[in-house]
Amino acid sequence: MENIVIGVSGGIGSGKTEFARRLSQQIGAPFLSFGDLIRDKALKLGIPQTRERLQRLGETTISDIGWERFIEELLAPWNRSAPLVIDGFRHKDAVSQMRSSIAPLQFKLIYLNVERAVRTERLGLVRPLDAENIDRLDQHSTERDVHADLMSLADLLLDGNKEPSLLVEETVHALQNIASPC
């Protein structure tokens, strides 16, 4: 696959991380994650890694350093001569800055559209407390942005209710059709 940056977005429990990891393995691309970057910052600062604290740290970091520097920090380990898969796009400004930061390379945003019942079930397997509180979590401003803004910005909208291996196969095929040479 050509030198392309693929971003993955979707609501809490949509399977973003599993999908992004599998896609990166399938196409032989490095994997980076906004969530991992924030969790690393929290660890270094001694901040508990609860969803609320991590969201607050992410918001504070963006407010302090801005999107351009935040994206630069995320991309620092990446060799620009290889494709890249990035997990966890949560803001339209992150998409805009990513497009600017990697230009002239292509950026394609994938949105996993998943029914609430499926998201709740998936969360119940890994974070039962989040599954119980999905209605409250979906009301956070970041989650509202994900569902409202990022879905409409997506280059590829996937039925995330499907099994990840099938989604990866569909994505590789779709990317071959929508990715044009730079």
Position of tokens 């039962």? 128
Residuewise pLDDT in 10s, the chain (182 residues): 678 999 999 999 999 999 999 999 999 999 999 999 999 999 999 999 988 899 899 999 999 999 999 999 999 999 888 899 999 999 999 999 999 999 999 999 999 999 999 999 999 998 898 889 898 888 887 888 888 899 999 999 999 999 999 999 999 998 888 755 44
Residue of 101, 123, 142, 106 whose CA lies nearest to 17? 123
**Among positive and negative, which fits the CA dihedral 97, 175, 39, 91?**
positive
Longest CA span, the chain: 45
Question: What local confidence, expressed as pLDDT, does residue 179 receive?
Answer: 55
Angle at 93 between CA 41 and CA 116, to 5 degrees: 80
Domain count, the chain: 1
Structural domain containing residue 91? 4-178
Angle between helices 164-178 and 16-27 (to 10 degrees): 60
Whole-model pTM: value is 0.92
- H-helix segments, 127-163: 128-132, 134-138, 141-145, 151-153
Question: What local confidence, expressed as pLDDT, does residue 182 receive?
Answer: 44
CATH number at residue 142: 3.40.50.300
C-beta separation of 55 from 44 below 8 A: no
Question: What local confidence, expressed as pLDDT, does residue 108 receive?
Answer: 96
Question: What local confidence, expressed as pLDDT, does residue 85 receive?
Answer: 98
